[in-house]
A and B are shown apart, each in its own frame.
Chain A
Amino acid sequence: MTLGTDWAVAWVRRAAEVIAEHRVELITLDREIGDGDHGENLDRGFTAVLPKLDALPGDSTPGDVLKVVATTLISTVGGASGPLFGTAYLKASGAIAGRAEIDATGLVELLTAARDGVVLRGKAEAGDKTMIDAWTPAVDAAAAAAESGSDEREVLEAAAAAAEAGAVATESLVAHKGRASYLGERAVGHRDPGAQSSALILRAAVEAAR
C-alpha cells in the first residue's frame, strides 16, 4: 500500500483539523514559555492552505501538495513556526519530487528531509527543547520501522508515536532556542509547543493513511 496524492491531501486536511482542534491548547503551551501565538499562527497557516488544495491541478504529485503547504505556511504564519514548518515541508517536497507514490523508504526520506529543514532553519540541536525533539525521534523510529520491513502506515505510526513521546519529554528540558530560552530553568515542567504541534501533524499523517 504505497501512498499517493490522495494521502498527501488528506494529511494536510487532517493536520488543519487537528491544529484547529488543539488551537487553544497550543496557545496555552506557548503562553507559558513563549509569546502565546503558536496555536493561532499555525491555525491561520493551515487554514490558508485548504483552498489551495482544491486549486491543485489533477496530475499533482504528493511533492506538489507539500510544496503548496510550504509556501503557504511561509507566507501566512508570521511567527517562527512559519519559516520552520515551511522549510520542513519544502525540503520534504524536494525529497519526494516527481514521485506519484511514496513507499516506506520514501516516507523515511520525506521525514528526514523535513527534520533537516527544521535544523537548517532553526539551528537547534536535539535537547534544546524545540520541535527537533519531536522530529528527530520520529525520523529515527521511522527509519528503524522501514528497515524492519514495516509498511507505510506502520512507518508513519512509529514516527507519530516517537514524536508524541519526544514532545512529552521536552517538559523536563531547559530551552536553548527561541523565546523560551529567556526563561532558563523556569521553562522546565512546560511542554514545548512546537514539539507538540509537530507530533499532532505527524499523527495526522497516520490518520490520513487509512
Chain B
Amino acid sequence: MTVGILIVSHSEKIAEGVVDLAGQMASGVTITPAGGTDDGRIGTSFDRVTAGLAATDSGDGVVVLCDLGSAVLTAETALDFLDDEARARVEIVDAPLVEGAVAAAVAAASGSARADVAAAARTANGETAVADAPTSPADATTSGPYERSVVLVNRDGLHARPAAEFVKLASRQDAPVTVNGKDARSLLAIMGLGLTAGSTVTLSTPDPAGRPAVDALAELIESGFGET
C-alpha cells in the first residue's frame, strides 16, 4: 500500500519545493505538486489540482495538503467533480504545509493506510499520531514493560533522514514504542526531541510482545543509520 500526497499551493515554487523536501525522505511515494495558476502566476488552479489528483491516486488513496485559504476551496471544488468512489479515497488535511507533508510522506513510505497518513500530517498541528503515546505500564504479571537505552552515535544527531528511517521502522512494528516518552511513529515528535550526538535515547514499550520492536529500533540507532 502506498498512499499518494498532493501539495496544493498558491506558488508553483512552494509546491515543487515541498515535494522535493518530502520526497527526499520518502522514496517510492508519489508526491505531486499542484502550485500556481495555469499560466504560472500566484493562485491555485482547478485543472492542476484535478490532474494532480488523478496522477497521485494509485488506488490506495491521496492525502491533500494545502496552503492559504483558497487552495482549500480549489481542492474541495476539485473533489466535488470526482465520482463518489474516487472522492472517497481522497482526504484534505488541515495541517502546516511543510511539516505536514514531511510527516505524511514518511508515514506513506512506511506503508501506512490513508487515515494513518492523514493522522501523521496532523501531528504537525501538535496532535498525537496514530494513537496516544503509550504511557500505562502493562500488567506486571506478564513479564511487564520493556525498556532499553542506547546512545546516539550520529555526528549530526537525529536529523531528518535518519529520523525518517527510524519512524518507518517504528511504523512497521505491531507494538507501541516510545522514544524518551514520545510516540516512535511520529516523525515530528521525534525530531522535536532535538537528539544530538551522544544523547541517550530510551526506548520503551508497555507491551511485553514489544520487546523485539524495541530491540530492532535500538539496533538501528546503535548502527548509526549507515552514517559514520
Contact = CB atoms under 8 A, between A and B. Distances in A.
Interface of A: 37, 41, 74-80, 82-84, 86-87, 121-122, 178-179
Contacts of B37: 78
Contacts of B73: 80, 82-84, 121-122
Given A87-B77, A121-B76, A121-B77, A75 B47 contact: yes
Interface stretch (B38-46, B87-95, B113-121, B129-137): B38-46
Contact of A75 (B46, B69, B70): B46
A178 B80 CA distance: 21
Q: Which range contains the number of B residues in contact with the other chain?
A: 10 to 19
Given A78-B37, A78-B41, A83-B76, A179 B69 contact: yes
Contact of A41 (B38, B43, B68, B76): B43
A14 B76 CA distance: 29
Nearest to A76: B38
B73 to A, nearest CB: 4
Contacts of A79: 43-44, 70
Contacts of B80: 87
A173 to B, nearest CB: 18
Contacts of A80: 69-70, 73
B74 interface: yes
Nearest to A177: B69
Contacts of A179: 68-69
Shortest beta-carbon contacts, A-B, top 3: A78-B43, A80-B70, A83-B73
A74 B77 contact: yes
Contacts of B47: 75
